[in-house]
Amino acid sequence: MLLALLAILGGLAVLVWSADKFVDGAAATARHFGMPPLLIGMVIIGFGTSAPEMVVSALAASDGNPGLALGNAYGSNITNIALILGLVAIISPIAVHSQVLKKELPVLMGVTLLAAWQLWDGELSRMDAVVLLVVFFALMGWSIYQGMQGKDDALGAEVDSELLEHPMPLKSALLWLLTGLVLLIISSRFLVWGAVEIAHAFGVSDLIIGLTIVAVGTSLPELASSLMAIRKNEHDLALGNVIGSNLFNTLAVVGIAAAIHPLEVDHTVLLRDWTLMAVLTASLFVLGYGFKGKQGRINRVEGALLMAVYLGYSGYLAYTVVSA
């Protein structure tokens, strides 16, 4: 038991550190090869911070723990919106300037609805995985096309200033990229093993462990980068990070896990976890998009409501474990 707990704590610590170095190295490498700042913000930073979710869910699926794989992906989405954006909005209200983010919000809503259609029959098959990954690569292609247009955008300007503040030689960028990736895989292996051992010891399902401990742990890179962005008044970078991460989780993380090993889905995932994820995504769409010429904004009251939802959800999961 003690060894499993140390594996979780040590794995999370190395996971967060290696994910940060992986994203820094990837962003700097992309910069050296001439990738536009807008594209770096949307693809490298937004999707790169989801590398922990991808590696953890892939390893969980290969080990035959579908609940942990799916719980990690959907739990991370819930954590990103309710906990991370809620906390960030309480610290500093989030104003949405980027037109690109406003285009991605409806896409995120559509992808969330696609997930419901696939969960309906209680299984995520390899064919479902193919659909998810095809949609993911199509969106990646669309993002690359948009980013290569070279149009001025608030998100692109924020990423450009961030990269100029912290320049990194190409050799260092490649070194951190590879080092971060290797440590991501190693730390994820320890985290998955520890989480499964703890779950079995306490008689808790892999799904609950994935939705809570593992989801929060793998979302720490998004929390760190969002808090740093808000401290620098880079609101679009904070929101873009969460939107990109949730798109990556719903499509690539679940798709890769189901491609490795088809996932049996408990009906409570659709009724409880997906429903909350969909409601939170819809609320993010309404708050962030802005209507009738008004600027999208998440204020402190709305941030507090998001935090309250997350605490209530976590409390309900804890209650189901105790009462089981």
Instruction: Determine how many CB atoms are found less than 10 A away from the CB of residue 4.
Output: 18
Give me the CATH number covering residue 58: 1.20.1420.30
Could you tell me the sign of the dihedral formed by the alpha carbons of 21, 24, 30, 31, in that order? negative
**18 vs 166: which has the higher pLDDT:** 18
Domain encompassing residue 271: 2-323
The pLDDT assigned to 31 comes to: 74
What are the structure tokens assigned to 123, written together?
């299984």
| Residue 277 near residue 79, CB atoms below 8 Å | no
* Helix, coil or strand: residue 247: helix
Angstrom distance (rounded) from CA 274 to CA 73: 11
Q: What is the C-alpha separation between 247 and 226, in angstroms, rounded?
A: 16
The total domain count for the chain is 1
Q: What is the pLDDT of residues 12-61, one digit of tens each?
A: 888 878 877 877 787 778 777 776 666 676 666 666 677 788 888 888 88
What is the maximal distance between C-alpha atoms in the chain? 56
pTM of the model: 0.83
Helices and strands of the chain, counted as H and E runs: 18, 4
Six token digits for residue 321: 């474990």
Model pLDDT for residues 123-160, shown as the tens digit of each residue: 899 999 999 999 998 988 877 676 666 555 555 666 66
Lowest-pLDDT choice from 50-59, 63-72, 218-227, 262-271:
218-227
